[in-house]
C-alpha cells in the first residue's frame, strides 16, 4: 500500500472528521479532533498495520492557540508507510484519549507529554510525572512557564 | 672473621643515627598518609563521569596518586567527586550521600554544571545552580567537561588541603552543615 491509497481509504472511512491533511509533505499528516483519535488509531494499527508509534511530541502554540500533540506512526516492513497525526486541544482543557492499549510505547510517551506540556490522556493507567520530580509544579515546556524561585528551600534562579 | 667495627666516638654514633632515625611531626606523618589514601565515591551524574572514568583508567591512572579505590558506598569514602549535572530531582540524593559519608570528608565539584549550573544557568528550570547550594565544596574544577589532567589537579588541591590539616583541629565536624531543607 502506498501513500495515496492510505489517504484514499482514510478519507473514505473518516470523511470530514479529518480536518486537514497533507499528503505530499516529508511525512504525510492529518489533523483530527481528539474524539476521533481512538478509532483512527485502532484503524491505523489494524487496517494499515502501522504498528510502531515512533514518536509522540507536543507543541505549545502560544497563549490562545492551544496545544498540539503529534503522533508519528509507521510500519517497519518493506512498505515503509508512515503518517503523523496532529491533535489540537485547548490550553485550559488539554484532554486527549489515551492510545497506550493500542501502542504499548504510548505509555511513557504520554507520561512525558503530560509532565512537560500538561496534556491529560484520558484512560491512561498511570498518568504521573516521568522526568520532573513527583512534587514538581507546572509543566516546564509551556510558553508561560516560570521556573520556581526556590525548590525544597534551595534557590533555583540565579538572578 | 673480623669483628664488626665498634662505634668508637660520639661522632660516629651520631652519623649512624642519621641513617636510622627520622624526625617528623605526628601531624605531618598523618597528613602524608591520609593525603595518599583519598578514597573517592563511585558515582557519576552525567558526561563528566566519563572523564572521571578516564581519569581512573590506565591512561591517566589516578591510582598513581593514591586515590584509586572508588568505593561503592559513602560509608567508606573520603571524597565525593560530583561529576555531572545535578538536577533538582537528584539534589536530595546527592545531599543524602554526602550526609552518609564519615568525617572528615571532602567534596570536589567537577565541571561547569556542578560549579554553577553551567549551560543550564538561565533556562534550566530543572538544574541545581551549583552543588555548593546543598553541600560544602572544597575544590572547584571548571570545564565542560574538564580533562582528566584537570581532575587530577583538583585531586592534588584536595591532597594539599588534607596534608595541611592538624589532627587536633577537629572542629570541622559539625561546622559544615548540609544546606538543603528536606
At B14-59, the pLDDT tens digits run 777 777 777 778 888 888 999 999 999 988 999 999 999 999 999 9
Cβ-nearest to B88 among A145, A156, A158: A156
Mutate which: B87, B93, B126, B178, vs A, most A CBs within 10 A? B126
Q: What is the domain-level CATH number for residue A42? A: 3.30.460.80
- pLDDT tens digits, residue range A32-71? 999 999 999 999 999 988 999 999 999 999 877 899 999 9
Confidence at residue B181, expressed as pLDDT on a 0 to 100 scale: 47
Q: How confident is the model at residue B5 (pLDDT cuts 50, 70, 90)?
A: low
Q: What is the ipTM of this complex?
A: 0.77
Question: What span, in angstroms and rounded, lies between the C-alpha atoms of A128 and A114?
Answer: 8
Q: Is it the case that residue A85 has pLDDT exceeding 90?
A: yes
Q: Is B48 left (phi over 0), alpha (psi -120 to 50) or beta?
A: alpha
The structural domain count of chain A equals 1
Domain ranges, residue A147: 3-155
Task: List chain B residues with CB under 8 Å of A116.
Answer: none
Cβ-nearest to A154 among B89, B91, B122: B91
Confidence at residue B25, expressed as pLDDT on a 0 to 100 scale: 81
Cell of residue A142, nine digits:
509551556
CA distance B97 to chain A (A): 17
Question: What span, in angstroms and rounded, lies between the C-alpha atoms of B15 and B18?
Answer: 5
Confidence at residue B173, expressed as pLDDT on a 0 to 100 scale: 47
Contact yes or no for B181 and A154 at CB 8 A: yes
Comparing C-alpha atoms, which of A59, A24, A21, A58 is closest to residue A40? Answer: A21
Q: How confident is the model at residue A26 (pLDDT cuts 50, 70, 90)?
A: confident
Contact yes or no for A156 and B129 at CB 8 A: yes
Confidence at residue B28, expressed as pLDDT on a 0 to 100 scale: 87
Q: How many whole angstroms from its chain centre is CA A133?
A: 22
Q: What is the residue-wise DSSP string for B92-138?
A: HHHHHHHHHSPSS-EEEEESHHHHH-GGGTTT-TTB-S-GGGTS--S
Better pLDDT: B22 or A149: A149
| Gap between the terminal Cα atoms of chain B | 79
Q: What are the phi and psi torsion angles at A85 (to 5°)?
A: -115, 130
- pLDDT tens digits, residue range B91-143? 999 999 999 999 888 999 999 999 999 899 888 889 999 998 999 999 999 99
Determine what percent of chain A falls in helix, strand and coil, rounding each to the nearest 5.
Answer: 25, 30, 45
Comparing C-alpha atoms, which of B69, B142, B80 is closest to residue B110? Answer: B142
Task: List chain A residues with CB under 8 Å of B91.
Answer: 152, 154
Amino acid at each position: 500500500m502506498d501513500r495515496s491509497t492510505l489517504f484514499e481509504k482514510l478519507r473514505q472511512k473518516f470523511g470530514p472528521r479529518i480536518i486537514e491533511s497533507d499528503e505530499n509533505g516529508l511525512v504525510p499528516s492529518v489533523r483530527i479532533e481528539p474524539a476521533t483519535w481512538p478509532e483512527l488509531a485502532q484503524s491505523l494499527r489494524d487496517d494499515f498495520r502501522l504498528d510502531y508509534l515512533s514518536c509522540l511530541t507536543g507543541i505549545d502554540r502560544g497563549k490562545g492557540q492551544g496545544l498540539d500533540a503529534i503522533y508519528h506512526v509507521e510500519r517497519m516492513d518493506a512498505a515503509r508507510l508512515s503518517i503523523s497525526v496532529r491533535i489540537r486541544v485547548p490550553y485550559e482543557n488539554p484532554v486527549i484519549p489515551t492510545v497506550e492499549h493500542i501502542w504499548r510505547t504510548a505509555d511513557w510517551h504520554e507520561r512525558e507529554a503530560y509532565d512537560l506540556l500538561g496534556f491529560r490522556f484520558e484512560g491512561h493507567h498511570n498518568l504521573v510525572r516521568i522526568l520532573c520530580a513527583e512534587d514538581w509544579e507546572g509543566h516546564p515546556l509551556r510558553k508561560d512557564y516560570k521556573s520556581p524561585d526556590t525548590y525544597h528551600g534551595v534557590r533555583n534562579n540565579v538572578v | 672473621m673480623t669483628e664488626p667495627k665498634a662505634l668508637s666516638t660520639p661522632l660516629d654514633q651520631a652519623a649512624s643515627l642519621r641513617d636510622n632515625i627520622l624526625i617528623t611531626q605526628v601531624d605531618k606523618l598523618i597528613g602524608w598518609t591520609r593525603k595518599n589514601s583519598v578514597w573517592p565515591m563511585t558515582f557519576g551524574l552525567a558526561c563528566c563521569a566519563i572523564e572521571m572514568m578516564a581519569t581512573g583508567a590506565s591512561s591517566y591512572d589516578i591510582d598513581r596518586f593514591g586515590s584509586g579505590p572508588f568505593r561503592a558506598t559513602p560509608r567508606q569514602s573520603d571524597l565525593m567527586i560530583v561529576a555531572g549535572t545535578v538536577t533538582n530531582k537528584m539534589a536530595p540524593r546527592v545531599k543524602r550521600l554526602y550526609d552518609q559519608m564519615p568525617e572528615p570528608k571532602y567534596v570536589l565539584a567537577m565541571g561547569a554544571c556542578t560549579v554553577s549550573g553551567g549551560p543550564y544557568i538561565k533556562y534550566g528550570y530543572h538544574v541545581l545552580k551549583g552543588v555548593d547550594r546543598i553541600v560544602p565544596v572544597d575544590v572547584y574544577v571548571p570545564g565542560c567537561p574538564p580533562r582528566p589532567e584537570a581532575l587530577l589537579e583538583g585531586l592534588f588541591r584536595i591532597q594539599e588541603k588534607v596534608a595541611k590539616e592538624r589532627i587536633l583541629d577537629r572542629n570541622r565536624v559539625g561546622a559544615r552543615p548540609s544546606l538543603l531543607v528536606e
